[in-house]
Structure 1
Amino acid sequence: MFKNKRLLWLTLLFVLSAIVVLGMKIGFPSHRLIAYGLLGLGWIPLLISYQINRRILRVQKKLIRKKARPFLPHAIVAVLLLLAFYVTSALFPVERSPLAEWSPEKIRTEMDRDLGSYHMLRKTADDFIAAFESNGLLQKKVDELSPAERKTIRRLWRDGVMAFLEFDLLKAKYRGFYQIDYVAEPALHADAFMLAYMAYITQYNACIQVIEMVGSNAFMETLLNEEGEGIPVDSYYFMKQRLTHPNVILRMNAGAAYFELVKKEITFEPELVADFRERRTSFVKTMGMHPDLFIDNPLDILERAAFETILPVQKNVAVQMSYIRTAKRDYLITPEILAEHQAELQPGDILIQRRNWHMTNIGIPGFWPHVALYVGTPAEIEACFSELDFQPLETIKALYPDAFQALEASDENGFPMRVIEAIRPGVVFQSLETSARCDYLGVVRPTLGKAEKFKALLGALAYYGKPYDLNFDFTTENALVCSELVYKAYRAGGELPLEPEVINGRRLLPPNRLAEQAVREMGDGGAFEFVLFLDAVEKSDEIVLGDAESFKASWQRPKWDVLQN
């Protein structure tokens, strides 16, 4: 019986803390070093516990050795058998290949056709690698990407992923080359092997080139891993993991040895074989320059496993907290107050909001926890953008018919939809009376032209119906948070001096930081102008009309309600 179990529990606590640090990327980009440190600290109580129990272990040592010694040869043979089984199953799968059922003539016909597919896939891989090398987009910071550049990356990456998957099909078809009788059909056997091996080399040579271009750009990895537009989820992650997978390494090296045995029987054109040799040399050389992959990839697996364990908990906590409000009073800004100021608002205005006594305020830094975008009714949009040389409502209807239909509706109280925002259900339209039913409301207006503002509205409408991003990451676009919707809408409409920051490995622009950055850009020639501030007096439960100076100082207020004056 071991003593000092508390020490073992302490070790377990350090291990769990390391997993949380990895999964939440706490302290990014040094989160892995922090996790290593925690794991190192976990050894201290473990070693102390070992020393305390050493006497017990010393007494039992001879007995353990005596009982274990007869089984040592069996263990060694079992390990060798398992290793042999693994190597055999990786190199020579047990399923019967269709190649064994076909006649030599049919195999040759299929191979000639698939050789054409290989040429096409090779060109696709070369083209998308050359495109990324020439435009340099994979080396750019995600913050610096324009919407057009982002679309270019996604389009090129989709082409690469599709080629990657097609290479997989080609490899799978000819991986049973060994079932073609080498004695009876040596050339057919060698060509089938060569086609599979060329697909391996060309595929993974393209992979390592992409990885080399991405480098340590973690946010670019996140962008490439995003699902959508024909790209499967985590495509870059799985591609990167394959490069160091034992099966791939084993097949690459076994293929190199087998190529030397059968190369005299290969009937492919010398130029094709020479191209293959060049690609294999390039792949081996580049892989040799990145031994760090053999460390990073296992760490990526551990980090992802920790993240996937923690994320459901994080999401559940966030959802449950959104239901909790610790005050029974209604919100101080009423529909009647909003009606007095609605005429001051214009399409494109940014609504900055706070609701006191909500549990969700705890996890959001700063005084202001929510933002939304004022769109206006169809009539307001028509009036605001009538000077443009096109029909704004017809444009919206043509591009985003579902969003236009939602904008034309009214809420359950009969109020027209005027606001688009990302809340717990996702990106939705709300009436002003529902969206701005809060305790504090600030409104700022970007000083852009009408054309830029209309583009911003279109940028926001493009995200209508997207889910809420409980991972809180601006890099992805398949789900959004409130400030992300506003930020990306204006990225589509025109550059505003809004800069996300990195928090726990995620690109974020919290609402309070958005308010702070807008305030810093107010004034003559600034990017924003003040429109409205409805300020709350918590002690007397009333709303007062604040001025520009009081709004400019609002982002510095304490987030805790009990500390507010």
Structure 2
Amino acid sequence: MLKNKRLLLVTLALLLAAIVVLGMKIAYPSHRVVAFSLLGLGWLPLMASYQINRRLLRIQKHKIKKKTRPFLPHGIVALVLIAAFYVTWALFPVERSPLLGMTGDELRSGLSDDLSSYLMLRESADDLVETFEANGLLGREVNSLSRAERGTIRSLWRDGAMAFLEFDLLKGKYRGFYQIDYVAEPRLHSDTFLLAYMAYVAQYNACLQIVEMVDGNEFMETLLNEEGEGIPPDSYFFMKQRLTNPNVMLRLNAAAAYYALVRKDSGIDAGIVADFEIRRKALVKSFGANAEIFVENPLAILERAAFETLLPVQKNVAVQMSHIRTARRDYLITPEILAECQPRLEPGDILIQRRNWHMTNIGIPGFWPHVAFYVGTAEEVEAYFGELGFPPLDTLRALHPEAMVAMRTVADDGYPVRVIEAIRPGVVFQSLETSARCDYLGVIRPNLTKAEKFKALLGAFSHHGKPYDLNFDFTTDNMLVCSELVYKAYRAAGELPLQPEVISGRRLLPPNRLAEQAVASMGEGQAFSFVLFLDAVEKSNSIVERNAEAFKESWQRPKWDVMQD
């Protein structure tokens, strides 16, 4: 019995491991293969456990058959009743249709108006598909998109999401067509049915064509799923899942059969019906061409369920780890040291930081775990960007008034605000004395014009107040991590040789990798210049200022490099 329990525990452990691999996308892009391999391995101890109990089952076999055989017909009938109930519930909802409260004339008038709405929605869906086909943006790598192109995608997708919602409202209004007496009002019955069916087909076709254009571009899916700007959360995911939803498939197939019976009674314009016939035939053909979606969607649901199960755990662990520091000493870089270094900083500088003895360093790859964006005080911004020919503070105030209010306040530590960064609460302004109160500090400067740096400043300010992204994904803009804020601020200004990578299915650029990429393009005539490197010496609890060569090698230090010579 003990051996049997151990085998079952092994099966359970393999199942949990598969869920973790699937949800966290470990071994991406082969995470699904790994997860299902673990599930397959889980059958081995399960079958071994079965073999242990096989003898007992053989002894009890005749008794079990004798007890269960009389109930077999009941089980079959119950399954038939359940299936019939499901079909009836899906096709004929029990709620009273709003159509029943209307007179015949009101119905005819409403049908005429809603038919016009259908035509407009059909045209909107066609325009959306044609525009995406023409610009090719849905097939592009997300990382290659400019800010304007991302904005175009989001704007078009918002319009599409609204059109699909309007289609849903139209279908919902006429889904109770069957409550109109076919014998007494055959034309009204047929027209209300046909309007709902045409809306179903037009919406389904448009959704399917968009899915074909995205075609496995996972990060584009993430971008379309991002909430904000009038777009509901996970809109693309739910749209794609609807294509294979059992209720939708049942209604489409039942509607196709019913259409053959009642189309002769319809009074809808022949041209509209002819266009619908073309769309309906195209839809039937598309099912065979997109058969893989019927496999992909269930896998996506499993993956999403695993992710949503594990994400709260991941977030809680990250938050708890952020509170843990295993040393009692203060940070080695003091406000006095920072006061001496501050005159060497300029707006737009990138601060690369490390604090020893923090548990969060465990989960962040490499030596450098944090970066921040140096802004300077309002006076420094005015002096630095004043030569651009426009008032920089007035421009910031006009475009980002709330961020300007936060920038011009005195920090909690009594020092002036000079830094914007993404930390655990979100994107906030901090004093230099709080932000750079650490053990190691590197400062690098993008070799851009002041106009380009001001655009980066605007880009950083545009993210003020957004929450911290505990999912660590650069694809979306509604939540950010520290290196994402710096990267996206400078993406708004122009190109820098900073390139996010795909790690566990997420696009991201860890701070240490950002430092490595910057060092590779550092020097005269290159993208970055060295400004400052304050290096901790743990043995003497002191700080040593080192040169550019030392900083260029710093990213190669091991994660646990806390005992410097």
Which band: TM-score by shorter chain? over 0.9
Residue of structure 2 equivalent to 1:470: 470
For residues 2 and 533 of structure 1, do their structure 2 counterparts lie closer, same or farther at Cα, with a shift above 3 Å needed? closer
3-state SS, counterpart of residue 555 of structure 2:
helix
Q: Distance in 2 between matches of 1:16 and 1:413?
A: 46
Residue of structure 2 equivalent to 1:192: 192
Residue identity opposite 2:168 in structure 1: D
Asked if 1 retains the 8 angstrom alpha-carbon contact of 2:367 and 2:561, the reply is: no
3-state SS, counterpart of residue 492 of structure 2:
helix
Q: CA deviation at 1:524?
A: 2.5
Confirm whether residue 548 of structure 1 aligns to residue 548 of structure 2. Answer: yes
Residue of structure 1 equivalent to 2:113: 113
Residue of structure 2 equivalent to 1:405: 405
Confirm whether residue 342 of structure 1 aligns to residue 342 of structure 2. Answer: yes
Residue identity opposite 1:437 in structure 2: R
For residues 420 and 185 of structure 1, do their structure 2 counterparts lie closer, same or farther at Cα, with a shift above 3 Å needed? same
Q: Encode CA deviations 1:154-198: one digit per residue, 9 max, x unaligned.
A: 000001100111100000000010111111111111000000000
Instruction: Please list, as runs of the form range in 1=range in 2, the aligned pairs for 1:320-331 lying within 5 A after superposition.
Output: 320-331=320-331
TM-score normalized with structure 2 length: 0.99
Instruction: Please list, as runs of the form range in 1=range in 2, the aligned pairs for 1:60-75 lying within 5 A after superposition.
Output: 60-75=60-75
Asked if 2 retains the 8 angstrom alpha-carbon contact of 1:557 and 1:564, the reply is: no
Q: Distance in 1 between matches of 2:562 and 2:144?
A: 40
Asked if 1 retains the 8 angstrom alpha-carbon contact of 2:354 and 2:440, the reply is: yes
Confirm whether residue 283 of structure 1 aligns to residue 272 of structure 2. Answer: no
Residue of structure 1 equivalent to 2:48: 48
Q: CA deviation at 1:412?
A: 2.3
Instruction: Please list, as runs of the form range in 1=range in 2, the aligned pairs for 1:318-397 lying within 5 A after superposition.
Output: 318-397=318-397
Residue identity opposite 2:76 in structure 1: I
Q: CA deviation at 1:3?
A: 5.6
Q: Distance in 2 between matches of 1:299 and 1:135?
A: 30
Q: Distance in 2 between matches of 1:407 and 1:537?
A: 33
Q: CA deviation at 1:371?
A: 0.1
Q: Distance in 2 between matches of 1:519 and 1:373?
A: 17
TM-score normalized with structure 1 length: 0.99
Residue of structure 2 equivalent to 1:539: 539
For residues 300 and 564 of structure 1, do their structure 2 counterparts lie closer, same or farther at Cα, with a shift above 3 Å needed? farther
Residue of structure 1 equivalent to 2:12: 12
Asked if 1 retains the 8 angstrom alpha-carbon contact of 2:97 and 2:176, the reply is: yes
Asked if 2 retains the 8 angstrom alpha-carbon contact of 1:388 and 1:451, the reply is: yes
Q: Distance in 2 between matches of 1:107 and 1:297?
A: 38
Residue identity opposite 1:143 in structure 2: N
Residue of structure 2 equivalent to 1:256: 256
3-state SS, counterpart of residue 386 of structure 1:
helix
Confirm whether residue 487 of structure 1 aligns to residue 480 of structure 2. Answer: no
Instruction: Please list, as runs of the form range in 1=range in 2, the aligned pairs for 1:135-534 lying within 5 A after superposition.
Output: 135-534=135-534
Q: Encode CA deviations 1:26-77: one digit per residue, 9 max, x unaligned.
A: 1111100000110011011111111122111111111111111000000000
RMSD: 1.0
Q: CA deviation at 1:2?
A: 8.6
Q: Distance in 2 between matches of 1:500 and 1:382?
A: 32
Q: CA deviation at 1:541?
A: 0.5
Q: CA deviation at 1:564?
A: 4.7
Residue identity opposite 1:116 in structure 2: S
Sequence identity (%): 72
Unaligned stretches of 5+ residues in structure 1 = none
Residue identity opposite 2:60 in structure 1: Q
Q: CA deviation at 1:287?
A: 2.3
Asked if 2 retains the 8 angstrom alpha-carbon contact of 1:357 and 1:561, the reply is: no
Asked if 1 retains the 8 angstrom alpha-carbon contact of 2:536 and 2:564, the reply is: no
Q: Encode CA deviations 1:419-468: one digit per residue, 9 max, x unaligned.
A: 00000110000000000000000000000111110000000000000000
Residue identity opposite 2:26 in structure 1: I
Asked if 2 retains the 8 angstrom alpha-carbon contact of 1:351 and 1:441, the reply is: yes
Residue identity opposite 1:198 in structure 2: M
Asked if 1 retains the 8 angstrom alpha-carbon contact of 2:413 and 2:434, the reply is: no
Residue identity opposite 1:469 in structure 2: D
Asked if 2 retains the 8 angstrom alpha-carbon contact of 1:194 and 1:259, the reply is: yes
Asked if 2 retains the 8 angstrom alpha-carbon contact of 1:417 and 1:429, the reply is: yes
Q: Distance in 2 between matches of 1:353 and 1:562?
A: 14
Q: CA deviation at 1:561?
A: 3.9
For residues 444 and 562 of structure 1, do their structure 2 counterparts lie closer, same or farther at Cα, with a shift above 3 Å needed? closer
Asked if 2 retains the 8 angstrom alpha-carbon contact of 1:332 and 1:542, the reply is: yes
Asked if 2 retains the 8 angstrom alpha-carbon contact of 1:141 and 1:217, the reply is: yes
3-state SS, counterpart of residue 463 of structure 1:
coil
Confirm whether residue 39 of structure 1 aligns to residue 39 of structure 2. Answer: yes
3-state SS, counterpart of residue 540 of structure 1:
coil
Q: Distance in 1 between matches of 2:413 and 2:510?
A: 31
Asked if 1 retains the 8 angstrom alpha-carbon contact of 2:20 and 2:310, the reply is: yes
Residue identity opposite 1:265 in structure 2: D
Q: Distance in 2 between matches of 1:457 and 1:497?
A: 18
Asked if 2 retains the 8 angstrom alpha-carbon contact of 1:352 and 1:441, the reply is: yes
Residue of structure 2 equivalent to 1:23: 23
Q: Distance in 1 between matches of 2:412 and 2:469?
A: 26
Residue identity opposite 2:23 in structure 1: G
Q: Distance in 1 between matches of 2:284 and 2:525?
A: 56
3-state SS, counterpart of residue 75 of structure 2:
helix
3-state SS, counterpart of residue 10 of structure 2:
helix
Asked if 1 retains the 8 angstrom alpha-carbon contact of 2:537 and 2:564, the reply is: no
Q: CA deviation at 1:413?
A: 2.9
Q: Encode CA deviations 1:294-323: one digit per residue, 9 max, x unaligned.
A: 111111111111111100010000000000
Q: Distance in 2 between matches of 1:563 and 1:123?
A: 67
Q: CA deviation at 1:563?
A: 6.1
Residue identity opposite 2:493 in structure 1: G
Asked if 2 retains the 8 angstrom alpha-carbon contact of 1:3 and 1:53, the reply is: no
Asked if 2 retains the 8 angstrom alpha-carbon contact of 1:327 and 1:357, the reply is: yes
Residue identity opposite 1:358 in structure 2: H
3-state SS, counterpart of residue 232 of structure 2:
coil
Asked if 1 retains the 8 angstrom alpha-carbon contact of 2:539 and 2:563, the reply is: no
Residue identity opposite 1:125 in structure 2: A
Residue identity opposite 2:287 in structure 1: M
Confirm whether residue 100 of structure 1 aligns to residue 100 of structure 2. Answer: yes
Q: CA deviation at 1:7?
A: 0.4
Q: Encode CA deviations 1:258-293: one digit per residue, 9 max, x unaligned.
A: 111011111111111111111112222222111111
Q: CA deviation at 1:562?
A: 4.9
Q: Distance in 1 between matches of 2:154 and 2:398?
A: 24
Q: Distance in 2 between matches of 1:284 and 1:22?
A: 33
Asked if 1 retains the 8 angstrom alpha-carbon contact of 2:356 and 2:562, the reply is: no
Residue identity opposite 1:519 in structure 2: V
Q: Encode CA deviations 1:117-165: one digit per residue, 9 max, x unaligned.
A: 1111111111111111011000000110111000100000001100111
Asked if 1 retains the 8 angstrom alpha-carbon contact of 2:174 and 2:192, the reply is: yes
Shifted more, 236-245 versus 292-301: the winner is 292-301
Asked if 1 retains the 8 angstrom alpha-carbon contact of 2:539 and 2:564, the reply is: no
3-state SS, counterpart of residue 348 of structure 2:
coil
Q: Distance in 2 between matches of 1:397 and 1:280?
A: 54
3-state SS, counterpart of residue 230 of structure 1:
coil
Asked if 2 retains the 8 angstrom alpha-carbon contact of 1:21 and 1:34, the reply is: yes
